[in-house]
């Protein structure tokens, strides 16, 4: 039986992504790189978040990019990498991206 990808010890392919709002980092996140939305060709997690933001912030420019693809790593390893990226942003910009403000505490 395959483990759910949210289990810290589950192995899979993940990506760390940025969502940008008007060219400013809005969120850093982790997505299952094997779950792709056919209509956009991007990981489903990113697709869902962009759709929500586009409805909420109609006049804002929302983009995304993939920071890193992590093949064959554990969910925990992907989470650790995500936190390292957030720490770098915090150290450089002295702020937590708005979309990470509830979950990331430097």
Is 105 inside a domain boundary? no
Is 69 inside a domain boundary? yes
Is 55 inside a domain boundary? yes
Is 17 inside a domain boundary? yes
Domain count, the chain: 1
What confidence tens digit (pLDDT) does each residue in 13-68 have?
Answer: 999 999 999 999 999 999 999 999 999 999 999 999 999 999 999 999 999 999 99
Domain limits for position 93: 11-100
Those residues whose C-beta lies under 8 Å from the C-beta of residue 17, and which sit 6 or more positions away, are 28, 29, 30, 31, 43, 46, 64, 65, 66, 67
Q: Between β-strands 36-37 and 42-43, what pairing exists: parallel, antiparallel or unpaired?
A: antiparallel
pTM of the model: 0.91
Tokens encoding 40 = 């956009």
What confidence tens digit (pLDDT) does each residue in 79-102 have?
Answer: 999 999 999 999 999 999 999 999
């Amino acid at each position: 039986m395959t483990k759910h990808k949210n289990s810290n010890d589950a192995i899979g392919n993940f990506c760390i992504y940025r969502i940008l709002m008007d060219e400013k980092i809005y969120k850093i996140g982790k997505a299952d790189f094997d779950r792709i939305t056919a209509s956009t060709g991007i990981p489903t997690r990113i697709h869902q978040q962009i759709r929500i933001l586009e409805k909420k912030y109609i006049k804002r420019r929302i983009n995304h990019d993939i920071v890193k693809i992590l093949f064959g790593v554990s969910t925990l390893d992907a989470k650790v990498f995500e936190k390292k990226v957030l720490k770098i942003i915090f150290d450089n910009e002295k702020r937590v991206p708005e979309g990470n403000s509830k979950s990331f505490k430097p």
